[in-house]
Structure 1
Amino acid sequence: MSATVLPISHAQNPSTTRKAMLGLGLGNTLEWYDWMLFGLLSSYIGPHFFPSHDPVAATMSALAVFAVGFAVRPLGGVLLGTFADRIGRRAVMLVSIALMALTTLVIALAPTHAQIGVWAGGLLLVCRLVQGVSTGIEAPLSTAYAVELAPAGREARAAGFMSFFVNLGILLASLVSFGTTFAIGGDAMQDWGWRIPFAIGAVMGLLVLYLRRSLPETLHEEDRVEGPAASVWRGVGKHWLGLLAMIFVVGAAQAYNYAWTVGLPNLARSTFQEDPTGVFAASTALGVVLLVGSPITGWLADRFKLSRAFTVTRVLAVPSVFVMLLYAQPGMGGFLGVLLGGSVVLVLNMTLYNVVATSLMPKYCRATGVALGYGIAVALFGGTASYLMLWLQEQGATWLFPVYTAVLSLVSVVLYLAARRSSGTFAGE
């Protein structure tokens, strides 16, 4: 028996809304758990799929595949975002989770380079490409979906709720990796234990698919654009400045995010040879800060004007990102201090960037516009961040990365304010 698809009205039953938000939120948890696992475990994955005598080179090969997954996010946004604006949000949300769960299972079972040669790296690359398409629509559309479900005046709180589940996924990735390493030891983790967290993610996918079967639809008949898909794209083109602002709003936050959640942990393990259990414990502590801070940030942002909250928190990112330069030599104390020292400003930016991006597009072309802007941003600035950070460190120019991120942050503020003056905002104000 198929699930009933519920259209959502402006007076949606609160219990139905809560159930829908849970389905959306846990889907984000799965997407980000699976996505972050690859980044966190790159130093384990690399030697199995890209063998090298240099562990840093093997890790960077795995991080290059990690970055390629970001490169196809705009494609996922374009293809699935257009469908979401024409046929509705629910079907696309189901497809994105199914793709992520399937590819995570494949990675858990994938043969290594020693077993099938270069085909192993090719299979890994295909899985990351499919996951890029999936996440290209899941991340931006789920927040837009949640904002459409939320009562007026609580849009930032809805974004904080969704960010909570995103950070839950990131925390679980660190926690499961830490627990697995603690239980079986570093050598077993390097050999075969890295597969366990991926298998857990595949099982989680079944639960999320079940919960999402009864998602309500938020795209009403009056919101749909009749005629060809070009009608949606004309709307995106009309708000081109909002799209440009969105790319930098998302891109700056993601560069900061992946430096902290992927770049620094891999730097600690591959370059400074820190104890992996300690690194995963520190990453888990960062995940707790992000998890707790997300709903608090959303609640506070609803009490102030969204544009003011965004501008202040984004400007704070400029000095905060330079904290990473304090981790310049081995030492778990220094690593933990840097990770947590930049975490408060990180959570402020990671909670607000999606609702700010959503506010720059009207509802009839929102899924397409936000998915496109988000996809371009993470492909250009997010997916390359951890690789760029390690590469600059190898070149002895680590200081260039915080300069780069600070410039992105300032440009995002300028473009956002220009877009607000040009065409206004459509949510959260």
Structure 2
Amino acid sequence: MAAINQVSYFLCSSSSSSSRRDLARASIQFPKIQTNSLSAFIPKIQSNIGVVEEMEFSRIPSKNQNKNNPKVSPDPEMMEKLYVILEAVSDRVEMHKNIGEQRNNWNSLLLTSINNITLSAATMAGIASAITSVPGAPLEALKVSSSFLYLAATGMLIIMNKIQPSQLAEEQRNAARLLKQLESEIKTKIAIGNPTLSDVNDSMNKVLAIDRAYPLPLLGVMLEKFPAKVEPAVWWPEKRRTSAKGQNGKNGWSVDLEEEMREIIRVLEIKDKEDYLRLGEKALKLNKALTIAGPLLTGLGAIGSAFLASSPQNSWAMVPGVMGGAMASVVNTVQHGGQVGMVFEMYRSNAGFFRMMEESIESNLKERDWESRENGELFEMKVALQLGRSLSELRDVAASSSRLGSDIDEFGSKLF
């Protein structure tokens, strides 16, 4: 107050009486206290009570709210089961990936080792046949060493031809790819929420089907590498129809779409699947011939090496002893270096893919109730994507098949 009085006195002494009263009044004015600033320090008791009441009221679901928002909270038990399956699938992906790399290494290492052993044996047999007339030459040591190497190469080659490491590696690659696809499906179901027991059983059946189609062990459950008849690979459980209702009363289906799907089945049957089964038969026959030829040639090389220099005329023994090893190396390189077993498995898996598509389409067409099928428009899009085509191209293929019949030249798939 003293400072205020001093300021007012100074102003009063330098102005007129009337202006002095105005300036003194202006200098004595205090700043107005804003109500908004005070409200920051006053607790909002009334508003907090309203928030509490609103929270309590929101806990009681209303009928209108249930009608407008029919979303149901996910079942914790179903979610937990899906997470358990997802963890098992992720573990299987790593297992198949690692074992596939290991078996691919088997193919490379065994191929290199057997070829080196075979060529070494052939070289020793050639040297032994060249020094038969040299006195004091280590002929017997070369003969025994060459025969032993040939026998070792024959045994290793029989084992390698039995298990077909390149085909095993392709099996594990296919399994890892399918399991990754299943892993993505399960994650999508979890993200969407509200999984059902049917989703859990479907995921479980898919895992077990892949396990049966591409087993990990070699003993007891290994797939037959030389079957009597080439059959498409089957890695899916029995198709189960699911309902996904569309916007119209026919669930996206029409008579034209049904006819289009029937034509697609026919194209896949007579062109795509049949072509890959035919190629698989050729690859299987070639693999069988090479499997027999390789050990046979190394066995002849061992016999020829054993009879080197047994008589003055030993040229007959030199031919299988040297030529057998050289030809066996070529056969082994073509079979395992060219990965004929892997090619056969690839053809078999491709045929299985088209068989799976046929079963998927047939399972929908056999269901007479359109509302119980998958949505027609979405199903058509899925088929087109799996075949690497647009919707217009897919319809053109169906129309061409209907017009030309069995004389159609175009394959259904453009992916492979």
What TM-score, normalized by structure 1, do the two folds share?
A: 0.24
- Higher RCO (C-alpha 8 Å, min separation 6): 1
Structure number with bigger Rg: 2
What TM-score, normalized by structure 2, do the two folds share?
A: 0.24
Structure with the higher helix share, 1 or 2:
1
